[in-house]
Amino acid sequence: MRILLIVLSLFIGLQTFAQKKDCQYASEINDSIGSYKETKSFLMHEKVFAGKSSYLFFSLANEQGVPFLKVQKIEKSPDFIKVNCFDKNSRIFIQLLNGKIITLIYSDQDTCGNLIRLENDPINSRVLSGNFVFLKGSFEELKSSPIWEIRIRFATETIDFAIKKEFYSELMQETYLPESYFMNNLDCIIN
């Protein structure tokens, strides 16, 4: 009986270890000043149509024990690109497949991002980045259910992003699984 319990506990431990995804960090610092770690950027949404493109990247970070979501929205177009800004009222609403809605609150200074124009290049690029903090009690929901839709409230408008289970990125030339992003990566910054 004792051997059966040992084998069973070993099997369960190995199965749990095998299911844990390896965390890939863009930055991981532990020194006398404090600690900071950030996962690699992950493409959550891509839209390429009629010479215009837009991308939504997420990465998770933890600074001094405070986890947050880093968001980067990139737009490219030969035409003028409308400005979106983050301010104190900006929010991210994540609707999960189980029907729950998780809210994240913008935690940086007001910003409208940067317009990038390269000499002799007809394409304009606009990059907007910001950090959003999680509300208490949201981790368990995010770890247990896939994402259905993401709504970002900017200073002047709100934009919805339908999240796919899987897509192949023209920009990155690889396959992404954004629906399960938090399920696969949240443990990398909260454990």
Q: For 101-132, what is each residue's pLDDT tens digit?
A: 999 999 999 999 999 988 888 889 999 999 99
Residue 48 is assigned to a structural domain of this protein: yes
Domain membership of residue 72 (yes or no) is: yes
pLDDT tens for residues 27-51?
999 988 889 999 999 999 999 999 9
In a domain? residue 6? no
Identify whether 71 is part of a domain: yes
Q: What is the pLDDT of residue 64?
A: 92
CA torsion sign for 97, 101, 107, 112 is positive
pLDDT band at 19 (very low <50, low <70, confident <90, very high): very low
13 is a domain residue: no
Whether 1 maps to a domain, the answer reads: no
Bridging pattern class, strands 52-63 and 124-134: unpaired
- The verdict on residue 43 lying in a domain is yes
Looking at the domain assignment, is residue 115 inside a domain? yes
Number of Cβ within 10 Å of residue 113's Cβ equals 20
Number of domains making up the chain: 1
Find the domain containing 111 and state its range.
25-190
pTM for the model: 0.86
Determine the average pLDDT of the residues in 65-83.
95
From residue 31, how far is each of 35, 36, 38, 55 by CA, in Å? Answer: 6, 9, 15, 34
